[in-house]
Amino acid sequence: QQQVKQSPQSLIVQKGGIPIINCAYENTAFDYFPWYQQFPGKGPALLIAIRPDVSEKKEGRFTISFNKSAKQFSLHIMDSQPGDSATYFCAASKSAGANNLFFGTGTRLTVIP
Amino acid sequence: DAGVIQSPRHEVTEMGQEVTLRCKPISGHNSLFWYRQTMMRGLELLIYFNNNVPIDDSGMPEDRFSAKMPNASFSTLKIQPSEPRDSAVYFCASSFRNSNTGELFFGEGSRLTVL
């Protein structure tokens, strides 16, 4: 059973657009929600992470929005660029140091110039 | 640091053959993870080690899969015998447990094709 559900599976936007990727979870024990970015032929790399004590976190053009009551969180990419084209994974775990990190199935983002 | 190093990067083999994937974690990291990535199921955790000890192998698909970590700088994932449904990209990742960030550092993966 998928612990973290992610949508959409793929996304195509024009340069400058704001792609939004959504994730949902059921386990209320989850306390740490990172996003990983994966370029073709490479392994995933940590992009940004949030804990449920805040509703939003920004790092550059990347923003995580978190809705604890709905058990949902999303990634927004402002002013998207072709270099943002990658696969994005949301994930969740019971703590930042927990070993069992549950990943979503990934969203393949394509930003058209 | 060179990051997590995996080998081989690509492996093509025939059904029934033994496959061994190798991983060198980042020096100083005390946790090591093996993941499998497929289009249908995304990233699946197969097994992880803390201080070279296997902690949870519940993600290992079946007895054909085995993993070892003989020391802090080396791990292997073995599939014997291999089957076409094992075709996937296998990632090794390492981290420093007890870190507040819990960041996983992934290798570049080993793409396995079983014919």
A30 touches chain B (CB under 8 A): no
- List of chain A residues whose C-beta atoms are within 8 Å of the C-beta of residue B106: 43-45
The distance of A34 to chain B (nearest Cα, Å) reads 9
pLDDT: is A51 or B101 the higher one? A51
Q: What is the pLDDT of residue A24?
A: 97
The pLDDT of B78-90, averaged and rounded, is 97
* Confidence at residue B13, expressed as pLDDT on a 0 to 100 scale: 97
As a whole number, mean pLDDT of residues A103-112 equals 95
How many helices (H) and strands (E) in chain B?
0, 11
Closest CB from A32, A96, A99 relative to B48: A99
The residue with tokens 């996304």 is A11
From the list A43, A46, A93, the residue facing B109 with the nearest CB is A43
pLDDT for A100 beyond 80 = no
Write down the pLDDT at residue B101.
66
Position B1 scores a pLDDT of 61
Q: How confident is the model at residue B97 (pLDDT cuts 50, 70, 90)?
A: confident
Tokens representing B78 are: 């073995």
Q: What is the pLDDT of residue B100?
A: 62
d(CA A78, CA A61): 5
User: B80 pLDDT exceeds 70?
Assistant: yes
A89 and chain B in contact, CB less than 8 A: yes
